[in-house]
Amino acid sequence: MRRNVRWGGRYVSGDDQLEHTLIQSLKTLRRQIFSWQHEWQSVNPSLYLQPFLDVIRSDETGAPITGVALSSIYKILTLDVLDVNTVNVDDAMHLVVDAVTCCRFEVTDPASEEVVLTKILQVLLACMKSKASVMLSNQHVCTIVNTCFRVVHQAGSKGELLQRIARHTMHELVRCIFLHLPDVDNTEQSLVKGGSSVKNENAGLDTDYNFSGKSENGSGASEFDGQLSSGVYNSASSGLIGGMMDESIPRNDNGKDAVPYDLHLMTEPYGVPCMVEIFHFLCSLLNVVEHSGMGLRANSLTFDEDVPLFALGLINSAIELGGPAIRHHPRLLSLIQDELFRNLMQFGLSMSPLILSMVCSIVLNLYQHLRTELKLQLEAFFSCVILRLSQSRFGASYQQQEVAMEALVDFCRQKTFMVEMYANLDCDITCGNVFEELANLLSKSAFPVNCPLSSMHILALDGLIAVIQGMAERIGNGSLGSELTPVNLQEYTPFWMVKCENYGDPEHWVPFVRRRKYIKRRLMIGADHFNRDPKKGLEFLQGTYLLPEKLDPQSVACFFRYTAGLDKNLVGDFLGNHDEFCVQVLNEFAGTFDFQDMNLDTALRLFLETFRLPGESQKIQRVLEAFSGRYYEQSPLILANRDAALLLSYSLIMLNTDQHNVQVKKKMTEEDFIRNNRHINGGNDLPRDFLSELYYSICKNEIRTTPEQGAGFAEMTPSRWIDLMHKSRKTSPYIVSDSRAYLDHDMFAIMSGPTIAAISVVFDHAEYEDVYQTCIDGFLAVAKISACHHLEDVLDDLVVSLCKFTTLLNPSSVEEPVLAFGDDAKARMATVTVFTIANRYGDFIRTGWRNILDCILRLHKLGLLPARVASDAADDSEMSSDPGSHGKPLTNSLSSAHMQSIGTPRRSSGLMGRFSQLLSLDTEEPRSQPTEQQLAAHQRTLQTIQKCHIDSIFTESKFLHADSLLQLARALIWAAGRPQKGSTSPEDEDTAVFCLELLIAITLNNRDRIGLLWQGVYEHIANIVQSTVVACALVEKAVFGLLRICQRLLPYKENLADELLRSLQLVLKLDARVADQYCEQITQEVSRLVKANATHIRSPMGWRTIASLLSITARHPDASESGFEALTFIMADGAHLSPSNFVLCADAARQFAESRVGQTDRSIQSVDLMAGSVSCLVRWAQDAREGTAEAEAAKLCQDIGEMWLRLVQGLRKVCLDQREEVRNHALLSLQMCLTGVDEIHLPLGLWPQCFEMVIFTMLDDLAEIAQGNPQTQKEYRNIEGTLVLALKLLTKVFLHLLNELSQLSSFCKLWRNVIGRMEKYMKLKVKRGEKLLELIPELLKNTLLVMKTKGVLVPTSTLGGDNVWEQTWLHVNKIFPSLQSEVFPNHDSEPLHSNPVLGESASDQTE
């Protein structure tokens, strides 16, 4: 001040009395300041603030002086000299604010003016940031913001720096104020901290503390405009927010501004009231858009994007900081719900991408903090802004589309966003399907149609994948039940009344929401039927319990009111119908509307939007009667009665037609309209301004009586917004979802198809690895969700899609497919992904296995599979079953030596084989060394295949779900192809062999579930075996595979043993040439099978197969040895003989005995095996007698008898062998078998049978041979020796069994036959037959003597053919007449005494 001429001059003159008061007060302060002894807190701040404030207020000071004073105040405020405990701090703060906001100074140059304005902003901000700011009243806070905004407003014509600082300060102020909102109590007059709360009496004082209010005391805008030029800033505190806004910024006058806060409350320490005022003001800044048609272009500040952007930025800050606390303050909340959101909807459609971006940020913040209060507003925003702008077909620019899409993707990254959209909107019959629309939008937007991939496509893909990954992350968090039950309606309940008991508890809301979605879907189907035939549509809904059996008007009205997609013409016709039921429906329909506090034209617009007004006047009359009745009921306002409402409604419809029909040339004027509506209000006139307002509303904005064509997204008109606010009061509460997968199954089912398609198309078009990776992440997430929610068909679709990208299924046109694959990153990534999915989620793959197998087969053909894929898969279990092998690494080749290929040699396969082919130089033409690139590509291919872990698909198949395993097996069978008769190409055969290997591998790995696979595997192998006529690798694999399966599984699957062994009959069906080639190996396998599993084979059926297989080998030069070894294993010492296999083994042994393939010794050993088996029969008979009940024992003995009979019959056949040693040995063995069975206690009746079928038949056959032609004689050397043995056998057996036989009724006949055979043999003409002739009489004599001794042959007097005595001599005398006297020397003298009859007959005979 001293340097200034005005102040300095007085000082120099020495006239102290003239010294200016401002300087005096500063000097005084300087004197006092050093004399204060107290703490600063106890000093009244006004003492040291006042001198500076006086300078600030003075209009005599220039800009530099005012600036210094402001800096001093700023310093005091920032030094924390003032705090809450300072004396009179509240007064001091008020003084500062009042002085600074009324700052006056002389402007000398623009620069110094800007400096002062900057300092004013600085001080005001410091006031708000100081510790003592809590002492400011609501009014002062409003004044600070007001002043700051005026500087912002003024700065438009000043320098750039001031503009920036002013805006920044405004931001900081808003942040500072709203930062306190969370600390405020939940009362309207809440204070920030401390202070007494005053009862809020909204007395509606004249002083309107409303930001958009006009100043009452004239110190407002005129002063603002007029005095700014002289640099005087004045805001009289009485006109607190007076002149806050320029006249040019219109006020939002819709007659329902919030009731202002009373004066008392505004002087309280600041809290919610000032925040409401400030927020209301910020919203009002946005209202300019409503008046943009009213010549505002002249005012650049209000017209361009600047003001809205600035206001939106401030609003965003306020919401960020107020956060969830806003919901506790109804006035703030209602500002956001109505005024703010309405403006956001309009600015959302702004052409400016900056504004759109800001709007989207605000909505995202509102979603984060206040979504539970903004359900319908959010729906409107997505429907009318995001969905509209994201698609070019609605005329949005590329920039708008991009911003809208970015915003949508940000929403999608909120984990619960899509779930909540689905639960709250898609599942609500009164709302649109926002989730579905958004998901479809993302899918479509990710699709590049006839164009290269752009950032927009990638953006949409990001959004899509964010949604999918959100679902995938929720999987681990569990859901309600693991399986959601499908919804079903069993009886009619009014669908519009469905309520949830507790919207906060998933146990309640999840079933409720799913039920609502079901109802909504059914209603949509009903709408479809209705549009085709209204009657059938209603019947369909009755059938699905959505309408009652007997239709009532209310339910039909609600169907019309709440169902989207109905044909509005049909609904209009129905409602206008004169039928009594239709009239009732119409009245109920009108009753569903809420016209509370609505203007008549708004109500009429909403009503006529829901259907098409019919054309006939009577129908119009009925419709309008129903409407006006409802309107009058709810909003009587100035209407006297229903008729007034009806007449006025009619009048509006006519005005609408008049104004908007092109055929009407002479339009109705306002005066005409008012004149037409005279005396309609109960005989009186309606207020003129009321009618004028209606007139202009209709003129400006047509009531559409025809529904909009094309279902595009509706625009948000003022009437729709009013309706939305009404609905939002009644809508069901907003459901907040947590991080569990409650509805993901249903949501994913809706979006999975388009999602897979979109990701696939992007993957197809992409060229960069990061995009590939994004797609792959998406694929894996889709797989995870499909698997966890058991959506097998989705997983199959995904696998099909991915397999296409592996390039493995393409017919190979490239010369070197392996290198091409190594160079194609996309194909390699897709391949790894396919196999990752197969390994991780194989349980849920069904038909997809076919595609996966195609890939595996292609890799196999290229020689890229690890050699161990098939072999490990099979041998894995073999190794683990060996107790000593734990921890042994899996071998890389077939571990079982016996499985080595016997047929065609396989070409080198496996990775190393492939590698060596690449490096080979020994082909016909010299090949150049592979280049670096080729080697690198090859290396990449190998690494990719290793990452795939293809072998584990098969080795781990034991963990697959049954359905999946079955499909895998079917896919293998399908991939192998049907075996062809005749030749197939080597490649096809290779494939078939490989598939068969894998099939056998999974069969062996799943021995516990063999029942599941067996039928298919068996049929496949049977097809191969029966259609093959030449030996080849395939049939070899089939036969030995089958044997291996049996070997491995017999010990585990008793119940399947028969099935398994029956399958071996296939081996018997092999083409003879094929069988011959593999006979030895087959026998070795069967031998192994028998040795390992003899104890597990229990049924005769199983043994029959084994025995057949072994029998066949008896005549095969190579195989017989193994076959005999196996048979010996079973029969030696009866080790594995049992009633179920006795006969079969005996028969097999007989075939070996008869076979001339081996040495004679083997035949003899075979006979020994047969003979030795008798001991088993003896043992079983003893066990039966000792251990079982009598009836069972008898049955068993009978069975044993039959087995024995079959055994001796077998031996009988061997007795006819051409080889002497074998023949004779068989005879001796037969004799042993016939005589060594006393302990069995064979049934008596069996013996005659035995003599007949075995002994006599054998004797006859031998006799025939002995008398055969010379050729036969030649073949059977020394036959006479055999005949001797045979006769001896006859007599020995006969005598051995004499006691038993003699008790038989048929004994006589049997005895006759014995003699008969001897007689026959006597007559035989045999070389060297002397022995025989000597032997027979001797044997006969011996026999007769024994019979005599045993008392069987005694003279008797019985008559008839059964008389032993008579019959004996009758026949014996024929051959040896002298024998009777030798045996019965004393009998001759008196033959007739003892037996006259016999004597007679004897003499007759002699004659």
| Ranges 490-499, 822-831, 944-953: which has the least confidence | 490-499
- The pair of structure tokens assigned to 367 is 């979603």
Q: What is the pLDDT averaged over residues 3-22?
A: 61
Confidence of residue 1305 (pLDDT cuts 50, 70, 90): confident
Given 60, 616, 767, 1019, the catalytic residue = 616
At 525, the amino acid letter reads I
Q: What is the pLDDT averaged over residues 185-204?
A: 43
- The pair of structure tokens assigned to 193 is 């901290």
The pLDDT assigned to 120 comes to 95
Integer CA distances (angstroms), 1197 to 1181, 1227, 1244, 1293, 1303, in order? 6, 25, 12, 21, 20
Cα–Cα distance measured from residue 870 to residue 850, given in angstroms and rounded to the nearest whole number: 17
DSSP conformation class of 386 = I
Angle at the Cα of 441 (from 439 to 445), degrees rounded to 5? 120
Query: What integer best gives the mean pLDDT of the chain?
Result: 82
Distance separating the N- and C-terminal Cα atoms of the chain: 188
- The pair of structure tokens assigned to 63 is 């800009």
Note the pLDDT tens digit of each residue in 100-138.
999 988 888 888 899 999 999 999 999 999 988 988 999
Greatest mean pLDDT range, 243-257, 695-709, 878-892: 695-709
Report whether pLDDT(10) > 60. no
The pLDDT assigned to 257 comes to 44
Angle at the Cα of 875 (from 869 to 880), degrees rounded to 5? 125
Q: In 10 A of CB 703, how many CB atoms?
A: 21
Report whether pLDDT(1406) > 70. no
Give 821 or 707, the one with higher predicted confidence: 821
Cα–Cα distance measured from residue 1240 to residue 1233, given in angstroms and rounded to the nearest whole number: 11
| Helix, strand, or coil (residue 782) | helix
Q: What is the pLDDT averaged over residues 1243-1268?
A: 86
| Sign of torsion over alpha carbons 434, 436, 437, 438 | positive
Confidence of residue 746 (pLDDT cuts 50, 70, 90): very high
| Ranges 855-859, 966-970, 1190-1194: which has the least confidence | 1190-1194
Nearest Cα residue to 131 out of 168, 189, 185, 86: 86
- What percent of the chain is modeled with pLDDT above 90? 37
Kind plus residue range of the DSSP H or E element containing 595: none
Cα–Cα distance measured from residue 537 to residue 517, given in angstroms and rounded to the nearest whole number: 19
Give 284 or 985, the one with higher predicted confidence: 284
- What percent of the chain is modeled with pLDDT above 70? 84
Nearest Cα residue to 535 out of 489, 574, 491, 494: 574
Cα–Cα distance measured from residue 947 to residue 829, given in angstroms and rounded to the nearest whole number: 10
Neighbouring C-alpha atoms within 13 Å toward the C-beta of 612: 13
The pLDDT assigned to 252 comes to 41
Confidence of residue 596 (pLDDT cuts 50, 70, 90): confident
Q: What is the pLDDT averaged over residues 416-420?
A: 94
The pLDDT assigned to 712 comes to 52
Q: In 10 A of CB 1322, how many CB atoms?
A: 16
The pLDDT assigned to 1133 comes to 84
Concatenating the DSSP letter of every residue in 472-490 gives: HHHHTT--SSSSPPPP---
| Ranges 387-396, 820-829, 891-900, 1322-1331: which has the least confidence | 891-900
Neighbouring C-alpha atoms within 13 Å toward the C-beta of 156: 13
DSSP conformation class of 669 = P
Burial class (CB in 10 A: 0-12, 13-18, 19+), 861: middle
- The pair of structure tokens assigned to 618 is 């009577």
- The pair of structure tokens assigned to 354 is 């900056």
| Ranges 638-642, 858-862, 900-904: which has the least confidence | 900-904
Nearest Cα residue to 512 out of 490, 525, 492, 497: 497
Cα–Cα distance measured from residue 663 to residue 657, given in angstroms and rounded to the nearest whole number: 10
Cα–Cα distance measured from residue 422 to residue 485, given in angstroms and rounded to the nearest whole number: 18
Concatenating the DSSP letter of every residue in 498-528 gives: ---S-TT-HHHHHHHHHHHHHHHHHHHHHHH
Confidence of residue 5 (pLDDT cuts 50, 70, 90): low
Note the pLDDT tens digit of each residue in 795-851.
999 999 999 999 888 776 667 788 888 889 999 999 999 999 999 999 999 999 999
Angle at the Cα of 725 (from 724 to 727), degrees rounded to 5? 60
- The pair of structure tokens assigned to 1097 is 């084979």
Residue 616 annotated in active site? yes
| Ranges 327-331, 511-515, 791-795, 1078-1082: which has the least confidence | 1078-1082
The pLDDT assigned to 1325 comes to 81
Confidence of residue 682 (pLDDT cuts 50, 70, 90): confident
Note the pLDDT tens digit of each residue in 1003-1050.
988 888 888 898 999 999 999 888 888 888 888 899 999 888 888 888
Which residues, at least 6 apart from 863, have a Cβ–Cβ distance to it below 8 Å?
907, 908, 909, 910, 911, 913, 914, 917
Helix (H) and strand (E) counts in the chain: 68, 0
Confidence of residue 1334 (pLDDT cuts 50, 70, 90): confident
Neighbouring C-alpha atoms within 13 Å toward the C-beta of 385: 28
Integer CA distances (angstroms), 1230 to 649, 1206, 1250, in order? 122, 12, 12
Note the pLDDT tens digit of each residue in 24-56.
888 888 888 888 877 878 888 888 899 999 999
Cα torsion for 527, 528, 529, 534, to the nearest 10°? 50
Note the pLDDT tens digit of each residue in 1135-1173.
888 888 889 999 999 999 988 887 888 899 889 999 888
* 1169 within 8 A of 1131, measured Cβ to Cβ: yes
Q: What is the pLDDT averaged over residues 1283-1290?
A: 87
Give 393 or 1147, the one with higher predicted confidence: 1147
Cα torsion for 1395, 1397, 1403, 1407, to the nearest 10°? -160
Angle at the Cα of 764 (from 759 to 769), degrees rounded to 5? 85
pTM of the model: 0.79
Note the pLDDT tens digit of each residue in 302-329.
346 788 999 999 999 999 999 899 999 9
